[in-house]
């Protein structure tokens, strides 16, 4: 597999999609620093934890775009078949592709953190969280990206048509965000509404709190919360908008998704008919 990785990284350094992705994330980090600078001048207080989570929505799309445009050409150019003809095992081919996608996405995320750490920290008032908790949150964000890489790599190794792969991965990402946003909206519903009533002379008066029938409680709320923590897109929303409730559970869910998607993808790739 070492030869596959050497060849893959040599190709990665020449891939426009990788450098464009890194440039985009670095620009995103610069925009976040600019926002922090302008907000600080107006009296808004920012912490490093605020800046460290502002990339998550953009990060969700990195694996889909990268895998579609970089790994998606493997079938189109006959590269996968040539690797197998050269004596490489299917497991080695699959794992090399996964490692490449993981490394590329992590480096692109690193491009975001470069301006944040070098410049953004000048406009913050400390970490905003205990060092251990901040490390856990940043680690969770990286594991979220890794889980998405596992799923997108599985798709790129099983879908041989590049156009179909690109549409599938992007629609799946957008669909995941839509589902996760719906779940988060249900979780954020208030337990009570502020009631009001109109008197005979047309004046609005306080009628006390009114119970919200849509407020989630008990087992139903736990199911919704677990779904939000399990889906990588739900994790991205939670990290990005500071709505993390169970950070360790989210990390474990990401590891589970990465493991299951890799195992299932490898098993299916071994049986795939490479025409």
**Can you give the pTM of this predicted structure?**
0.90
**What's the angle, vertex CA 27, arms to CA 23 and CA 30, rounded to 5?**
140
Q: Which of 155, 150, 154 is nearest to 166 (CA)?
A: 155
Give strand pairing partners of 192.
211
Helix residue ranges per DSSP H, 209-274: 218-230, 232-240, 247-271
Sort strands 192-198 and 204-211 into parallel, antiparallel or unpaired.
Answer: antiparallel
DSSP secondary structure letter of residue 30: H
Who's near 80: CB < 8 A, 6+ residues apart?
74, 93, 274
Are 147 and 257 contacting, i.e. CB atoms less than 8 angstroms apart?
yes
How does pLDDT run along the chain (275 residues), one tens digit per residue? Answer: 888 999 899 999 999 999 999 999 999 999 999 999 998 888 888 899 999 999 999 999 999 999 999 998 887 777 888 888 888 899 999 999 999 999 999 999 999 999 999 998 888 888 888 899 999 999 999 999 999 999 999 999 999 888 999 999 999 999 999 999 999 999 988 877 765 555 555 555 555 567 777 778 889 999 999 999 999 999 999 999 989 999 999 999 999 999 999 999 999 999 987 76
């Amino acid at each position: 597999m070492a030869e596959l990785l050497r060849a893959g990284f040599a190709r990665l350094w020449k891939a426009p999609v990788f450098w464009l992705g890194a440039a985009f994330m670095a620009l995103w980090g610069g925009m976040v620093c600019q926002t922090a600078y302008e907000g600080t001048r107006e009296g808004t207080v920012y912490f490093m934890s605020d800046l460290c989570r502002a990339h998550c929505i953009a990060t969700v799309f990195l694996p889909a775009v990268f895998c579609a445009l970089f790994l998606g050409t493997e079938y189109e150019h006959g590269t996968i078949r040539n690797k197998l003809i050269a004596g490489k095992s299917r497991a080695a081919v699959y794992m090399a592709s996964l490692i490449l996608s993981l490394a590329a996405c992590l480096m692109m995320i690193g491009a975001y953190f470069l301006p944040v750490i070098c410049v953004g920290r000048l406009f913050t008032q400390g970490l905003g969280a205990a060092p251990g908790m901040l490390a856990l949150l940043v680690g969770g964000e990286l594991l979220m990206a890794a889980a998405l890489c596992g799923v997108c790599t599985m798709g790129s190794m099983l879908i041989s048509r590049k156009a179909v792969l690109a549409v599938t991965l992007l629609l799946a990402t957008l669909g995941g965000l839509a589902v996760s946003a719906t779940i988060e909206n249900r979780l954020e519903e208030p337990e009570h509404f502020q009631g009001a009533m109109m008197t005979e002379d047309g004046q609005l008066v306080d009628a006390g709190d009114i119970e919200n029938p849509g407020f989630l409680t008990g087992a139903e709320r736990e199911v919704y919360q677990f779904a939000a923590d399990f889906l990588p897109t739900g994790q991205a929303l939670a990290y990005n908008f500071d709505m993390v409730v169970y950070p360790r559970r989210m990390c474990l869910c990401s590891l589970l998704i990465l493991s299951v998607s890799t195992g299932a993808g490898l098993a299916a790739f071994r049986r795939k008919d490479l025409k």
